[in-house]
Amino acid sequence: MIIITGGNGQLGQALQQHAPSWAEVNAIDVEDCDLADIPMLRARLVVEAPDVIINTAACRADDPAETDMGYLRAVNADAVAAMVEAVDQTGGKLVQISTNLVFDGSSSRPYRPYDVRVPICAFGQSKTESEDHLRKQDLLIRTGLIYSTGHHNFVRSMITLMNEREEIDVPAGTIGALTSASGLARTVWSLIAQGANGIYHHCDEGVASWEQIAAAIAEDAHALGLIRRIPAIRMRPDHEPPALALPRVQPPLDCHATRALLGEEPIHWREALRQMLHEEAGLR
């Protein structure tokens, strides 16, 4: 049996949608088991004795002033320690989904799996701690900014803003790790099927600035009737408050080892985004 935590989230649902025929999946979310309740989590996992846990659940710290840092660490790090303890007793394996935010973005090249981690935010720090709990036989997959159809994410937020304003502003800087949930889910299942362990990276191919991403969303969304007009896009100075909270640091990831193992051609971020917007248009 394979337990997927965060089953109602973007990646959790994509994993269920793309689950192979051989996978017996039990998807759980916070209403089934609060990962911050470590004793309950540990007891449940020992009883259910899964062969694999795919941990997609995470607590974000988008606004540190409004985030319970104790809860953040419990969900993102302490729960992972409990999962490792449980599968160690039952002979199972943990597949941990982590983030490019364990890096600080200062590198002149995309980050490789075993590069030194330097987190610069509370979320990145908690995910770094989660990684340190893993064993050699476990599988760690780092990824970037995830988006999918029908969920709250930056793509759908931009579409809403584009319908409300004639001009939108985006932060200066470059984003290098845009990630379609569907593509990531397929990679997760492929790595499990290969019996992979250690550290792998996955994100969509190519890098782009927020200005380029916003322009691509506007162009395709307008063509599909998701927005009424194409807005002007402006780079926002640092001192101005944002209309839409978008990350300034998204360190790009080197995914060559993942693609070499799986023998798969990467999907460019522009094509993955176009596919998502077509699906989004079909929901309306």
Domains in the chain: ranges and CATH: 2-151+176-207+252-269 (3.40.50.720)
Q: How many of the other CB atoms lie within 10 Å of CB of 98? A: 23
Q: Where are the beta strands (DSSP E) in 71-197?
A: 93-99, 139-143, 145-147, 167-171, 174-175, 178-180
Sign of the four-CA dihedral 30, 184, 193, 16: positive
Q: pLDDT-based confidence at 62, cuts 50/70/90?
A: low
Output the pTM of the full model.
0.93
Cβ 159 vs Cβ 221: under 8 Å? yes
pLDDT > 50? residue 245:
yes
- pLDDT, average across residues 76-100: 95
The proportion of the chain whose per-residue pLDDT surpasses 70, expressed as a percent, equals: 95
Cβ 253 vs Cβ 110: under 8 Å? yes
Contacts (Cβ under 8 Å, ≥6 apart) of 70: none
DSSP 170-223: EESSEE--EEEHHHHHHHHHHHHHTT--EEEE---B--EEHHHHHHHHHHHHHH
pLDDT tens digits, 155-205: 999 999 999 999 998 887 778 778 999 999 999 999 999 999 999 999 999
Q: Alpha-carbon distance 276 to 150, whole Å?
A: 9
List 28's β-bridge partners, or say none.
5
- pLDDT, average across residues 119-147: 95
Residue 67 has a pLDDT of 64
**C-alpha angle 13-190-274 in degrees, rounded to nearest 5:** 55
Q: Alpha-carbon distance 58 to 76, whole Å?
A: 6
Sign of the four-CA dihedral 110, 112, 118, 122: positive
Average pLDDT, the chain: 91
- pLDDT, average across residues 218-223: 96
- pLDDT, average across residues 221-245: 84
The region that residue 232 occupies, defined by phi over 0 for left and psi between -120 and 50 for alpha, beta otherwise, is beta
